[in-house]
Chain A
Amino acid sequence: MDQINIFIDKIYNFLKSLTLAVVLLSLIAFFSAIGTIASNVKFLKDLGLDNVYYSKWFLLLIVLFVINLVLCTLSMIPTTKALFSPKAPNKIFKSKRKDTKTHLINLLKSKKLYIQQKDDLIAAYRYPVRKFAVYGIHLGIFIVAFGALVGSIWGFRGIMEIPQNEASNIVVTRNNYLSLPFSVYNKNFTVSFYHNKDIPSEYKTTGYIIDSTQKIPFSTTVNHPFIHKGIWFYQASYQLNPHDSFIILNVNNSRVQLYLHKPVSIDNAQFYLANLSYYNSKPIALLYVELPQGSASGWIKLGDSANLGPINIVFEQAKESYITILSVAKDPGSNIVIVGFIIMIASSMLIFLRFRRRVYKVEQI
Chain B
Amino acid sequence: MYSNILSISNFVYIASAFVLILSFIVRKKSIDVAGKSLFVLAFFIEFLYFTLRFIETYQKGYDYLPVTNAFESFVFFTLCLGFLQTLMIKKTSVFIVLFSSIVISATLLALSIAGFSQHIEPLIPALKSNWLVAHVITSFLAYAAFAINFVASSFVLYSSQKRIDKIVGSIMFGGILSLMFTAVIVSITHSSPLVVGIVFLVLISTMLFVLSFILKPYTSKEWIEKPLVFGFVLLTIGIITGSIWAKYAWGGYWSWDPKETWSFITWIVYLINLHFARKKKSARFLAYLGVIGFLSVLITYLGVNFVLPGLHSYGSN
**Cβ contact within 8 Å between B237 and A348:** yes
Binds B, one of A114-122, A217-225, A288-296, A304-312: A217-225
Residues on A with C-beta less than 8 A from B237 are 345, 348
- What is the bound-complex CA distance between A30 and B250, given in angstroms? 26
Residues on B with C-beta less than 8 A from A53 are 256, 261
**Cβ contact within 8 Å between A345 and B240:** yes
Residues on A with C-beta less than 8 A from B308 are 36-37
**Cβ contact within 8 Å between A225 and B248:** yes
Q: Take A223-B128, A223-B248, A234-B250 as given contacts and tell me if A351 and B233 are in contact as well, using a CB distance cutoff of 8 Å.
A: yes
Q: Does A180 contact B (CB under 8 A)?
A: no
Against A, the Cβ 8 Å flags (1 = close, 0 = not) of B127-158 are 01100000000000000000000000000000
Q: Does B229 contact A (CB under 8 A)?
A: yes
Q: Does B264 contact A (CB under 8 A)?
A: yes
Against A, the Cβ 8 Å flags (1 = close, 0 = not) of B192-205 are 00000000000000
**Cβ contact within 8 Å between A348 and B236:** yes
Q: Does B306 contact A (CB under 8 A)?
A: no
Residues on A with C-beta less than 8 A from B252 are 157, 329, 331
**Cβ contact within 8 Å between B247 and A194:** no
**Cβ contact within 8 Å between B125 and A18:** no
Against A, the Cβ 8 Å flags (1 = close, 0 = not) of B236-267 are 11001001100111111110101001101100
Question: B113: shortest Cβ distance to chain A, in Å?
Answer: 26
The answer, among B128, B243, B253, B272, for a CB contact under 8 Å with A222, is B128
Residues on B with C-beta less than 8 A from A35 are 256, 261
- What is the bound-complex CA distance between A157 and B268, given in angstroms? 26
Q: Does B211 contact A (CB under 8 A)?
A: no
For window 194-208 of chain A, which residues contact chain B by CB distance below 8 Å?
A: 194, 197, 199-203
**Cβ contact within 8 Å between A22 and B248:** no
The answer, among A37, A157, A202, for a CB contact under 8 Å with B125, is A202
Residues on B with C-beta less than 8 A from A36 are 258, 261-262, 304, 308
Question: A154: shortest Cβ distance to chain B, in Å?
Answer: 14
The answer, among A32, A37, A202, A345, for a CB contact under 8 Å with B264, is A32
Question: B303: shortest Cβ distance to chain A, in Å?
Answer: 9
Q: Does A328 contact B (CB under 8 A)?
A: yes
**Cβ contact within 8 Å between A200 and B251:** no
- What is the bound-complex CA distance between A341 and B244, given in angstroms? 9
The answer, among A25, A225, A334, A351, for a CB contact under 8 Å with B271, is A25
- What is the bound-complex CA distance between A180 and B230, given in angstroms? 46
The answer, among A148, A197, A223, A234, for a CB contact under 8 Å with B122, is A197
The answer, among B129, B240, B264, for a CB contact under 8 Å with A344, is B240
Residues on B with C-beta less than 8 A from A202 are 125
Q: Does A251 contact B (CB under 8 A)?
A: no
Q: Does B124 contact A (CB under 8 A)?
A: yes
**Cβ contact within 8 Å between B125 and A203:** yes
Interface size for A (C-beta < 8 A) is 45
Against B, the Cβ 8 Å flags (1 = close, 0 = not) of A22-53 are 10011011001101110000000000000001
Question: A59: shortest Cβ distance to chain B, in Å?
Answer: 13
- What is the bound-complex CA distance between A225 and B126, given in angstroms? 12
Q: Does B121 contact A (CB under 8 A)?
A: yes
- What is the bound-complex CA distance between A258 and B180, given in angstroms? 56
Q: Does A260 contact B (CB under 8 A)?
A: no
Question: A235: shortest Cβ distance to chain B, in Å?
Answer: 8
Q: Does B28 contact A (CB under 8 A)?
A: no
**Cβ contact within 8 Å between B272 and A223:** no
Q: Does B275 contact A (CB under 8 A)?
A: yes
Q: Does B162 contact A (CB under 8 A)?
A: no
- What is the bound-complex CA distance between A18 and B229, given in angstroms? 18
Q: Does B302 contact A (CB under 8 A)?
A: no
Q: Does A278 contact B (CB under 8 A)?
A: no
Q: Does B279 contact A (CB under 8 A)?
A: yes
Identify the closest chain B residue to A342 (Cβ).
B240
**Cβ contact within 8 Å between B275 and A18:** yes
- What is the bound-complex CA distance between A202 and B272, given in angstroms? 42
Q: Does A143 contact B (CB under 8 A)?
A: no
Residues on A with C-beta less than 8 A from B129 are 223
Residues on B with C-beta less than 8 A from A199 are 121-122, 124
**Cβ contact within 8 Å between B253 and A351:** no
Residues on B with C-beta less than 8 A from A349 are 233
- What is the bound-complex CA distance between A41 and B243, given in angstroms? 28
**Cβ contact within 8 Å between B253 and A223:** no
Residues on B with C-beta less than 8 A from A32 are 256, 261, 264-265
- Residues of A near any B CB (own CB < 8 A): 18, 21-22, 25-26, 28-29, 32-33, 35-37, 53, 148, 157, 194, 197, 199-203, 221-225, 232, 234-236, 327-329, 331, 334, 337-338, 341, 344-345, 348-349, 351-352
- Residues of B near any A CB (own CB < 8 A): 121-122, 124-126, 128-129, 229-230, 232-233, 236-237, 240, 243-244, 247-254, 256, 258, 261-262, 264-265, 268-269, 271-272, 275, 279, 304, 308
- The 9 A-B residue pairs with the shortest CB-CB distance in the complex, in nearest-first order: A327-B251, A222-B125, A329-B251, A29-B268, A53-B256, A36-B258, A194-B122, A29-B265, A223-B129
Enumerate 5 A-B pairs (CB-CB under 8 Å) in ascending A order.
A148-B253, A223-B129, A225-B248, A329-B251, A344-B240
Name 11 extra pairs, CB < 8 A, besides A32-B256, A200-B125, A352-B229: A18-B279, A25-B268, A36-B258, A53-B256, A148-B253, A157-B252, A222-B125, A236-B251, A341-B244, A344-B236, A352-B230
